[in-house]
């Protein structure tokens, strides 16, 4: 297992994720993923098959371990064939943690406990007393606690609505969401110190917001695409396929155009999105940003006060 873990850490390091962040390389090397995914579901003939570490067949156990220490997301909880929870792709987790820009002594709130591995990495880096993770599903939080106990790490695991944050442990220096939302909940702003950061998936991307007070936060998208299970009880903007009406297939297949189309869904028609796309020379993700201000959410291109602004809520 140590050899497989070391190989995964090297694979992530080869992508440049740990450059300038040696503390995160140390955390990934020290916190074993297999403790957090004792079983997962792999695709099989149009369905799923369970892989687990205590399978009596040695070949299937090897397959389980190989999957655990491969740089890929793993489906960990299903209900009626629907994915409820997963262990995110390790390199994406590493990128998000690096982009969170934590410092010693920071307090972090994670929205979406998942398997507990992300909270474990944060707890290893910052200390368990500085990390809180929240999930709505008691089955998920119960299993996350067991996994964390097995790893000898004890962040505060809370069963509750992630959109409400966790006021009991506030204020936070950083909030990290590992589930997709269609807004930036106001309690997150209220529970983050001014100057703190919120990193959250939004519209198939990741946006990093600087909090300026209990009513306002603003920031840009990162270059990295991101697809996450939605926050329980929400219907995120990423749901479904963007309409192809009036757009050539080769354009719709462009991942960056699909990001623009998803970000502005309901505000721009596909033809209007295509016009922006062509006029602005196929803008990359990091030219876009979000402003949360007094209960409204506005997406923009290049400049929060510029000509391309779309009020989302």
- Residue 136 has phi, psi (to 5 degrees) of -75, -30
Q: How far apart are CA 47 and CA 228, in angstroms?
A: 20
Query: In Å, how far are 10, 24, 195, 217, 246 from 3, measured between CA atoms?
Result: 11, 18, 40, 43, 51
Joined together, the tokens standing for residue 5 give: 């873990």
Question: Which residue has tokens 């929205």?
Answer: 111
First to last CA, the chain: 47
The strand pairing partners of 156, in sequence order, are 132
What residues are labeled active site?
85
Nearest residue to 62 via CA among 71, 76, 51, 73 = 51
């Amino acid at each position: 297992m140590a050899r497989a873990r070391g190989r995964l850490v090297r694979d992530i390091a080869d992508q440049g994720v740990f450059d300038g962040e040696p503390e995160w390389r140390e955390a990934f090397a020290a916190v074993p993923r297999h403790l957090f995914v004792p079983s997962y579901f792999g695709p099989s003939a149009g369905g799923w098959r369970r892989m687990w570490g205590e399978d009596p067949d040695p070949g299937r156990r090897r397959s389980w371990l190989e999957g655990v220490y491969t740089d890929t997301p793993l489906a960990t909880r299903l209900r009626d064939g629907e994915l409820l929870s997963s262990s995110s792709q390790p390199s994406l987790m590493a990128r998000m943690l690096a982009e969170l820009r934590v410092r010693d002594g920071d307090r972090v709130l994670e929205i979406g406990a998942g398997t507990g591995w992300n909270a474990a990495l944060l707890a290893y880096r910052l200390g368990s007393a500085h990390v809180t993770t929240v999930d709505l599903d008691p089955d998920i939080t119960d299993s996350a606690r067991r996994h964390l106990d097995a790893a000898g790490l004890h962040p505060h695991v809370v069963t509750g609505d992630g959109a409400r944050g966790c006021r009991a442990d506030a204020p936070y220096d950083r909030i990290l969401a590992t589930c997709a939302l269609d807004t930036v909940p106001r309690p997150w702003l209220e529970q983050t110190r001014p100057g703190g950061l919120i990193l959250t998936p939004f519209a198939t991307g990741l946006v990093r917001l600087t909090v300026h007070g209990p009513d306002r936060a603003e920031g840009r998208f990162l270059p990295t695409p991101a697809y996450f299970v939605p926050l329980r009880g929400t219907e995120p903007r990423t749901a479904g396929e963007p309409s192809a009406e009036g757009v050539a297939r080769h354009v719709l297949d462009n991942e960056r155009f699909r990001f623009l189309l998803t970000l502005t869904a309901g505000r721009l028609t596909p033809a209007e999105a295509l016009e922006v796309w062509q006029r602005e020379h196929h803008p990359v993700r990091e030219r876009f940003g979000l402003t949360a201000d007094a209960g409204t959410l506005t997406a923009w291109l290049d400049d929060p006060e510029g000509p391309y602004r779309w009020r989302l809520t």
